[in-house]
A = this chain, B = another copy of it.
Amino acid sequence: MESNSNLLPRLLRGIIPPLVTPLQDRDTLDAAGLERLIEHVLAGGVHGLFILGTTGEAPSLSYRLRYEVIERVCEQVKERVPVLVGITDTSFVESLNISRKARDAGAQAVVLAPPYYFPAGQSELLEYLKHLTPELPLPVFLYNMPSYTKLVFEPETIRAAADFPGISGIKDSSGNMIYFRRLQRLLKDHPDFSLLMGREELLAETILFGGHGSVCGGANLLPQLYVELYNAACAKDLPKMEALHQEVMQLSDAIYNVGRYESSFLKGIKCALSCMGICSDFMAEPFHRFRQVEHKVIQEYIKELGITQNR
């Protein structure tokens, strides 16, 4: 199964930014922006890239564009770090199609949330994973994101799925730390099963208490900050960890809470990247880039926090 995965460690650890997808318009990639973004985050020392996730606006993109993103990213990364590709889809066949494209392009793994239209039960979800994973050509990371998919992967479902060949870990974006702790306990006999935190505000405590890494949206902006925080937590250097954690919280407060609606974090990141000169802030429907007034607020923050492309 694992044609491209000698690059993927047996246990994935560290900071894996969920890359935004720079766009010129709803169906045209901002290719130069994508290039700059990739180099920016790799320069920060991240341990992998996750493309076509929620932060990557994957569900809003055409398949054609998603395929283009996969090819360009893999081509440019050139195996410097593992590339994980989101394949979540309401259609099993389309998930397979994307996963094959990912394998062909040289990606290392795929990431899969529950199919998010029909409200399936846990036994249906487990059966779904049982059917799907043997057909997938790359290792799979599960993705728990109940506020967007409506469906939760219950801890017992994850525990059962962890025995399927090819399932390598989970990214939990529920924000529910008790859920995450429960996963840790249920999976303590699976030392190769990677437990990744999807909310950067919880990165420090995740690592300190035995989690393996984090998928941090803010690492699009300040990759080095998250890598340093990860390292401080691994080293159990509490004073340094606390100081960096406060920087993460400050960025979260500043960038993710401008404007209304739950999509603020996404608009904030794209807007900040545009202020930093890295890529366009165009967003695919149903969203739109921030208007002048919110843009200004973000720009102020960027200056205030001293965020630059080269930091």
**Interface residues, chain A, with chain B CB atoms under 8 Å away:** 26-27, 54, 59-65, 90-94, 97, 114-121, 124-125, 127-128, 131-132, 147-150, 175-178, 181-182, 185, 199, 201-202, 204-205, 208-209, 236, 238, 242, 245, 249, 253, 260-263, 284-288
Contact = CB atoms under 8 A, between A and B. Distances in A.
B181 A119 contact: no
Contacts of A285: 92, 115, 128, 131-132
Contacts of A63: 63, 91, 94
A93 B61 contact: yes
A54 B117 CA distance: 9
Contact of A185 (B175, B178, B249, B284): B249
Number of copies: 4
Given A118-B263, A119-B147, A65 B93 contact: yes
Contacts of A119: 147-148, 261-263
Nearest to A200: B178
Contact of A261 (B121, B149, B245): B121
Nearest to A145: B117
Given A177-B175, A205-B205, A260-B121, A93 B26 contact: yes
A80 B309 CA distance: 58
A93 B63 CA distance: 9
A263 B90 CA distance: 15
A10 B142 CA distance: 46
Given A60-B91, A63-B63, A120 B204 contact: no
3 smallest CB-CB distances across A and B, nearest first, come from A59-B90, A59-B117, A62-B93
Contact of A118 (B27, B60, B62): B60
Contacts of A147: 119
A242 B209 contact: yes
A53 to B, nearest CB: 11
Nearest to A120: B286
Nearest to A210: B242
16 contacts: A27-B93, A54-B117, A91-B284, A115-B285, A116-B117, A119-B148, A124-B261, A124-B288, A125-B286, A175-B177, A176-B176, A185-B249, A185-B253, A205-B208, A205-B209, A208-B208
